[in-house]
Amino acid sequence: METDRFGRDIETDFDIDDPAFNEHFYDVLDTMVARCPVAHSKVGKGYSLLNRYEDVRRAGQDWRTFSSAKGFQPNRPEGMPYLYPEESDPPRHTDWRRALNPFFAPNAVKEFEGQIRADANDLIDAFADRGTCEFIHDFAAQLPGRAFFKNLIGVPVDDLAMLVEAMDAGTYGPVEERAASFGRAIDYLGDFLARRRDEPPRGDLVDLIAGGVEHDGEPCSWEERVSVITDLTFGGIATTTFVMAGALLHLATHPKDRETLVREPSRIPNAVEEFVRYYPPVVALGRTVTKDVEIAGHRFEEGDFVLLNYAAASRDPDALDRPAELDINRESILHTAFGVGPHRCIGSNLARLELRVVLEEFLRRIPDFALKEDTTPEYETGVLRTMTSLHLVFPGGRTEGDAR
Amino acid sequence: MKYTVDGSLCTGHGRCYTVAPTVYAPDDEGYNLRRGDSVEVSPGQDGDARRGARVCPERAIELAE
């Protein structure tokens, strides 16, 4: 069978944590979109995937039938605390989003542009003269955390590495250790939130979270507030890294596109949207079916777990022409990289701002760069996807001691 | 041409006013400013109105001649 050439039949026996998916990412997604509107997994309790744009949209918007309240991960690890508002439905979800949204609106995040630009330049300063960098470690893993910590929650930047590591291990690490890894991040952020609760208010996002929201006139629990700051941090530091890395990989290997953006920075925002589509940090998030329903010709039953395959839906030829092609000049970019329905990524405006500023500054400082010879970028994939190494070289002064 | 933004579907992706700022605008939270309304498109801006509607991931914008 055609869907079998990835070492397993991806239509009936898919595994999102299978290294073969990581390796053949686009091939698997495109095969799914073309051949299986619904794919199934036998892993653990089993789950299904919706792979086409219209089906993903329908399920994402119909939160009553496709609930987030039982979590976004298939085979959710025992003891993994729920992340709010992501893992909740209206009205709890709406109570939080209404309170949080203003902090993430386009005009609100615009205030951070200067600080993000300064941080991008700080990070570039450290390697610009070296003529080489490992872009993930030296830049992409650091910038989103700095942007989020400095501008939104005020956690010391020195603690970023520990949080990134804990959340990484909680996402891609051995399944049985994920809850404990994530727990380290939750403990840290819970202590931080408690300290801020006891300090004079500053009127910022952290005050809002520490103060909590009401559900039906009752104040929400303290655990729920810790969960919210954890969810926002997770989204803020564990995702944009991949788009940044993907963009730089593309520009390192497509000199014409690089030259276009160097010459015409006004084209960067459109390119950013295409990079977000093509390098989706959030591959697929799950829903639990609340009542029997037919979608994409498949009968789902109450209790079934379904992944909305955002990464595949963004490559659906029924939604977008030539989806397998990365075209920075594309006119109508339609994608589901930020999700669809009420759970639309709350940080999407911040992510776009970070990506635009990063590309503007990197291309201004280092307009000519390439992939380092004999290296290939490394990836990690589960319900999220990221790049773990990307070696770049550029004419940049001396190569001290020669890296080779 | 008229456009209508379905207020129950718009979740503030911001694609419409990004690609067609002459037609669509955001409110303070990033939602389409005119969600729920039926709005006349200014002459000569039909193309922009279509472009903005086409990139809405929620399919929240409906156009009518």
CA torsion sign for A312, A314, A319, A323 is negative
CB contact under 8 A, A341 and B58: yes
Contacts of A340 in chain B (CB under 8 A): 11, 57-58
Closest Cα in chain B to A99: B29
Q: Which of A101-110, A174-183, A220-229, A329-338 has the lowest mean pLDDT?
A: A174-183
Per-residue b or e along A327-355, where b marks 16 or more CB atoms closer than 10 Å to that residue's CB: ebebeebbbbbbbbbbbbbbbbbbbbbbb
Contacts of A61 in chain B (CB under 8 A): 9, 58
Q: Is A35 contained in some domain?
A: no
Question: Domain of A374?
Answer: 80-305+341-393
Mean pLDDT of A8-32: 96
In the predicted structure, residue A263 carries a pLDDT above the cut 80: yes
**Cβ-based interface (< 8 Å): residues of A facing B:** 57, 61, 101-102, 104-107, 269, 273, 331-336, 338, 340-342, 344, 348-349
Residue A157 is predicted with a pLDDT of: 87
pLDDT > 90: percent of chain A? 88
Query: In Å, what is the CA distance from A216 to each residue of A91, A154, A220, A342?
Result: 9, 30, 10, 20
In the predicted structure, residue A400 carries a pLDDT above the cut 50: no
Query: In Å, what is the CA distance from B61 to each residue of A228, A364, B52?
Result: 31, 37, 8
pLDDT > 70: percent of chain A? 98
Residue A1 is predicted with a pLDDT of: 65
In the predicted structure, residue A266 carries a pLDDT above the cut 90: yes
Q: Which helix (H) or strand (E) holds A62?
A: none
CB contact under 8 A, A336 and B28: no
Q: Is A246 contained in some domain?
A: yes
CB contact under 8 A, B54 and A332: yes
- Which CATH code fits B2-59? 3.30.70.20
Which of B6, B9, B11, B58 to mutate to probe the A interface, most A CBs <10 Å?
B11
In the predicted structure, residue A404 carries a pLDDT above the cut 50: no
CB interface of B with A, residues 2-31, below 8 Å: 9, 11-15, 18-19, 26, 28-30
Query: In Å, what is the CA distance from A96 to each residue of A56, A91, A145, A251?
Result: 24, 9, 22, 38
CATH number, domain of A224, equals 1.10.630.10
3-state class of A342 per DSSP? coil
Contacts of B15 in chain A (CB under 8 A): 273
Mean pLDDT of A328-332: 95
State the pLDDT confidence band at A399, using cuts at 50, 70 and 90: very low
Q: Which of B19, B28, B55 sits opposite A102 (nearest CB)?
A: B28
Which of residues A77 and A346 earns the better pLDDT score? A346
CB contact under 8 A, B57 and A340: yes
In the predicted structure, residue A403 carries a pLDDT above the cut 50: no
In angstroms, the separation between the Cα of residue A60 and the nearest Cα of chain B is: 9
State the pLDDT confidence band at B7, using cuts at 50, 70 and 90: very high
Residue A118 is predicted with a pLDDT of: 98
In the predicted structure, residue A235 carries a pLDDT above the cut 50: yes
CB contact under 8 A, A105 and B29: yes
Total count of domains within chain A: 1
Residue A78 is predicted with a pLDDT of: 80
Tell me the per-residue pLDDT of A143-157, one tens digit each, with 9 for 90 and over: 999 999 999 998 888
Residue A402 is predicted with a pLDDT of: 41
Mean pLDDT of A352-366: 98
The residues facing A295 across adjacent strands are A298
Q: Is A21 contained in some domain?
A: no
pLDDT > 90: percent of chain B? 95
What the block records as the tokens of A175 is 């399944």
In the predicted structure, residue A172 carries a pLDDT above the cut 90: no
Mean pLDDT of chain A: 95
Tell me the per-residue pLDDT of A85-99, one tens digit each, with 9 for 90 and over: 999 999 999 999 999
In the predicted structure, residue A3 carries a pLDDT above the cut 90: no
Mean pLDDT of A192-212: 96
Contacts of B9 in chain A (CB under 8 A): 61
In the predicted structure, residue A120 carries a pLDDT above the cut 70: yes
Look up residue A63 and give its DSSP letter. Answer: T
In the predicted structure, residue A401 carries a pLDDT above the cut 50: no
Which of A54, A55, A61 to mutate to probe the B interface, most B CBs <10 Å?
A61
Q: Which helix (H) or strand (E) holds A269?
A: helix A268-278
| ipTM reported for the complex, 2 dp | 0.96
Per-residue b or e along A198-233, where b marks 16 or more CB atoms closer than 10 Å to that residue's CB: eeeeeeebbebbbebbebeeeebeeebbbbbbbbbb
Q: Which of A106, A269, A342 sits opposite B30 (nearest CB)?
A: A106
